[in-house]
Chain A
Amino acid sequence: MELLLILVIGLLYAGGVYLILRRSMVKLLLGIMLLGNATNILIFLLGKITKAKPPVIDESYKIFQDIYADPIPQALILTAIVISFGLTSFAIVLLKRVYALVDSDDLDDLNTPEEEDL
C-alpha cells in the first residue's frame, strides 16, 4: 500500500505543478489544491500508516492497551486541511471578482508591466 501511496503522491505533485504552470487562474487554483492534497498524503505516510487502529482510547481504559496510529501527523494534516480551505475559498471569491472586472481568466491579462519594461 505504501508504494501505491507514493505513486499517488508523485502523480499528484506532477499534476499540481503542471497546472500551476498554466495561464488560467482556475487551473492555478486547482493546481494548488492538488499540491496541498499531495502534501497531506506525504505527511500522513511519514507517520507510518497503521490499519484500523485509530488514536482513540478505549471507553473503559485510561491508557492505550494496543498499538495505535501516530496522532501527530493527523493533527498536522487536520490543521492543514482547514487552513487550505480558508485559502481556497478566499481565492475562489477573489477569482470571481477578478473575472467580473477584467472579464478574463487569463493571468497575463492582469499584468501591468512598468513603462521601462516595454
Chain B
Amino acid sequence: MLFTVLTGLITSSLLVPFGKFIKTKWSILLPFIPVLLFIVYLLYVPDVASGTNFLQHLPWVPSLGINLDFKLDGLSLLFALLITGIGSAIFFYARTYLRGHQYYDRFFGYLLLFMSAMLGVVLSNNIITLFIFWELTSISSFFLIGFNNDNADSRKSALTALSITGIGGFFLLAGLVLLGNIAGTYVISDLVAQHNIITSHQLYPLFVGFILIGAFTKSAQFPFHFWLPGAMKAPTPVSAYLHSATMVKAGIYLLARFTPILGNTDLWNYTLMIVGGFTMLYAAIHALFRIDLKAILAYSTISALGVLTFLLGLGSKEAIVAASVFILVHALYKATLFMVTGIIDHETHTRDLTHLSGLRKVLAPVFIAALLAALSSAGVPLTFGFIGKDLIYEATLHAPSHLALWLTVLAVTTNVALVAAGFMAGIKPFTGKLPQAYEKIHLPYTSMWLPPLILAILGLVFGCFPGLVGDLLNHRTANSIWGGETAMHLKIWHGVNTVLLLSLSTLAIGTFVYLINKPSILKLAAIEKFNRISPQRIITGYAYDIKRFSNWYTHLFHDGYLRSYHFKIILFAELLLGYKLWLSGPISIDFSVLTPPSWYEVVIMLVLLGALYIIVTTKSRLTSVVSTSVIGYCICLMFVFYSAPDLAMTQFTIDTLTTVLFVLVLYKLPSFMNFAKKGILVRDAVVALGFGTILALIALRVLYEPNTTEISSFYGENSYLLAKGKNVVNVILVDYRGIDTMFETVVLAIAALGVYSLIKLRLKSSEKE
C-alpha cells in the first residue's frame, strides 16, 4: 500500500527533471499510472469483499507513536477505487484538455501529488499520518486552483481555498492530538476499541468540535462552503477531480472513518444532521439561480456533500448504507457532468447557460454522457442514482418517529432542487435550437468525450445490476462505517411503497421546477443581493480586518524611531517587573543588618548624584562627558571602600581612557539641541523615574534574600590550594574562568581593530554622500 501511495509522489518528482519529455511525445504514459493503481486496487476487491482487512506497518517516529500505518478495509477501498478510477478518466481527459499548455508538466506533477496525498488520507491507519496527507491535499489543491496564475481571480480563489482548508487543518490537528493523547494511541483501529472511553471523556465536545471544523472546511459545509464555488477557477479537469469526486469527499471520509470512534452520541449526530441538513438545502436552492454551468455544479456538489454529512449524522444503519452508496453515485455522475462542462467550455468558450442550446446536434456522444449523468443525478429508475435516492428516503423514513416526517420533507425538497439543477447542467445546453455560431463545432478528440461517457455508462450498469457493486464494495464500506454487519442488499425493485412514491414525485416536481425555472441574469442578480450577509462576506471581511489590524499594530511598534522603541520596551519592562514586584508583597527594612555609612561615603555619593544631575540637564557636551567621568570615579572610590581593589583599579583606568577618547573625538561637536516639547520631557522623566524606582525596589528586596555562598567559598578556599593564587578575583578570571576571559580579550581586540580602522578610514568625497 505504501508503494501505491509513493508511486504518485515519485513520478511527480521525476517530472521536475524529465518534464519536457512529457510535454511532447511521452504524455501518453501519464494516464497509465492511475490506471495501473486502479487495477491494483481492483485486485483487492475479492479479498475485501470476503471481509479481509489488509494492514501494513512501517516505523517512522515510533517514540512519538507516529508510524506509516496503512489499513485497507471496505471504506478505504471504495475511496481508493474512486481516486484511482476517476483519476484515470481525468488523466486521459486532461491530457487532451490541456494539450500544448505552457505548464503541462507542472499540471500533471500537481495532479499526481494530489492523487498520492489523497490515497494517503484514505489508507492511513495513523491519525497523524492521515493529517500530513490531509494537508498535502490542501497544498496540492492550492496549486491546482491557482494553476492559471496569471489570472488575479484564480490566485485569489486559490488563496481563499487554502486559508479556509488551512484553518480547518489547524483545528483538525488540535483535535487529533487531543484525541490521541486521551486515548493513548494514534492508531485508528485501536481508537475504535476505545469508543466508550473517548465519548465519555469530559473534553469530548472540544475535540469533536475541532475535528468537525476540519471536516466541514474540507467538505465545504455551511458556513465554510464558499471556497468551493471560488475554486471553480481551476481548469475543469481539476474541478472534476478535486472538487466533486475526491478532495471535498476527504471531509466525508474523515467523518465516516471517525463515526465508529466518536459517533453515536447526541452531539455528533445532531451537529452533523443540522449542519449537513442546512447545507444541502441552502446549496441546492442556490444552484437553481446560477447561470454558469460550473457554478451550478459547484452548488449542487456542496448540496450533495451536505446530504452525505446529513446521512452520517442520522447514523442509523439505513443512513450509513445510503451514504456509502451515495458517495459512489455522486462521484460517477458529478465527474461526468464536470467533464461535459469542460468539453462545452473548450468548444464554445462559454459556460453561460443563457447562451448555450442545441448542442446535441454537434456533440452527440457528449450529450449521451450528460443525459445519463443528469438522469442518474435525478434518480430516474434503472440508474444508479435511483438506488441512491431510494436509500436516502429509506433512511429518513426510518429516523426516530418525531423527526422522520421533517427529515423526509427536507430530503425531498433538497432532491427536487437537485433534480432541477442536474437537468440544468446536463440537459439544458443540449436542447433547443442550435445557434448559428455553434454550427461549426465538431467533436473533440475521443480521449475527451470517452471518459465521461464511460463513467456515465457505469452509472447505468450499476443501476441495472446494483448487486454487482453493492455486495462486493458498498456492503463492506457500510460495515466499516457502521462497525458491524449492515446486511445490505441493493435491489432495483422494492415493490410499490412509500419510498417509490416519494422518489417518483421528487422526479416529477423536479422536472416541473426545471421547466419553469429559466436561467437568467436577473435571477442571478437577485440572489447576489444577499451576498452582503453571506458567510463569505463576513469571513473575508474578517480576514481584511485582521490584515488592517496587523498593519496598524506593526506600524505602532515599528515606527522607525529608536527612542520610541526604547520607550515601549522600557514601559513594558516596567509593567512586567512592577506587576511581579506587587505580587511579591510588601518590603520591610531591617536596619540592624545594614552597614552604617560614614560621612565621606555620604559626601562621595552626593557628588555622584550632583554629577548625574548635571549630565541630565546640561547643554554642553564637554560638561556631560566630564560629569560621566566624575560618576565613574565616585564609583571607583566606592569600590575602594568596600574591599574591591581590582575593580577600583580597572574602573579608574577605563574611566580615564573613555573620557580621553570621548574628548579627543567629540570635542568638535556643537552643544546639544533641545527638540522635545516640555510634555514629552515630563513623560520621559516619569517613565525614567518609574524604571529607577522599580529597580531600586528590586534591589531592596534582594538585599533581604538569603545569599548562597557555596561557590564563593569554594573559590575562596581553593584559590591557593588548587590554583596557586592569593588574589581570588584574579584567580577566578584567569584560571577558573580562563577561557571566558580569553574570549573577552578577543572581543576587545576586535573592538580595537574596529576603532583603529574607523579612525584610519578616509572616504573619498564622492563616497561621503
Residue positions of A touching B, CB distance < 8 A: 1-24, 26-28, 30, 33-34, 37-38, 40-42, 44-59, 62-64, 68-72, 74-75, 77-79, 81-83, 85-90, 92-97, 99, 101, 105-108, 111, 113, 117
Contacts and interface: CB of A to CB of B under 8 A. Distances in A.
A63 B732 CA distance: 15
A9 B211 CA distance: 56
B516 interface: no
Interface in B616-675: 616, 621, 624-625, 628, 631-632, 635, 638-639, 641-647, 650-651, 654, 657-658, 661-662, 665-666, 669-670, 672-673, 675
B744 interface: yes
A28 B768 contact: no
A44 B647 CA distance: 10
A105 to B, nearest CB: 6
Contacts of A24: 672-673
B185 to A, nearest CB: 51
Given A6-B696, A93-B758, A82 B748 contact: yes
B508 interface: no
B715 interface: yes
A101 to B, nearest CB: 6
A118 B226 CA distance: 37
Contact of A92 (B631, B643, B665, B687): B665
A13 B654 contact: no
Interface range on chain B (Cβ under 8 Å from partner): 35 or more
A38 B727 CA distance: 25
Contact of B688 (A21, A26, A92): A21
B691 A17 contact: yes
**Secondary structure at chain A's binding surface: helix, strand, loop or mixed?**
helix
Contact of A22 (B563, B596, B709): B563
B751 to A, nearest CB: 4
Contacts of B707: 47-48, 70
Contact of B644 (A42, A54, A62, A108): A54
11 contacts: A9-B695, A9-B696, A10-B693, A15-B616, A45-B699, A50-B643, A64-B716, A71-B729, A72-B732, A75-B732, A82-B748
Given A34-B631, A75-B729, A75-B732, 13 more contacts: A3-B589, A6-B696, A8-B609, A10-B699, A17-B692, A41-B635, A72-B711, A78-B647, A89-B658, A89-B752, A90-B758, A93-B758, A96-B665
Contacts of B666: 26, 92, 95-96
Contact of B732 (A9, A22, A50, A71): A71
A13 B587 CA distance: 20
B563 A23 contact: yes
Contact of A89 (B689, B696, B755): B755
Interface in B542-586: 555, 560-563, 566-567, 570
Nearest to B573: A17
B662 A92 contact: yes
**10 tightest Cβ-Cβ pairs between the two chains A and B:** A14-B692, A10-B696, A86-B751, A69-B643, A18-B688, A17-B688, A10-B692, A71-B728, A1-B597, A57-B726
B758 A97 contact: yes
Nearest to A75: B732
B696 A1 contact: no
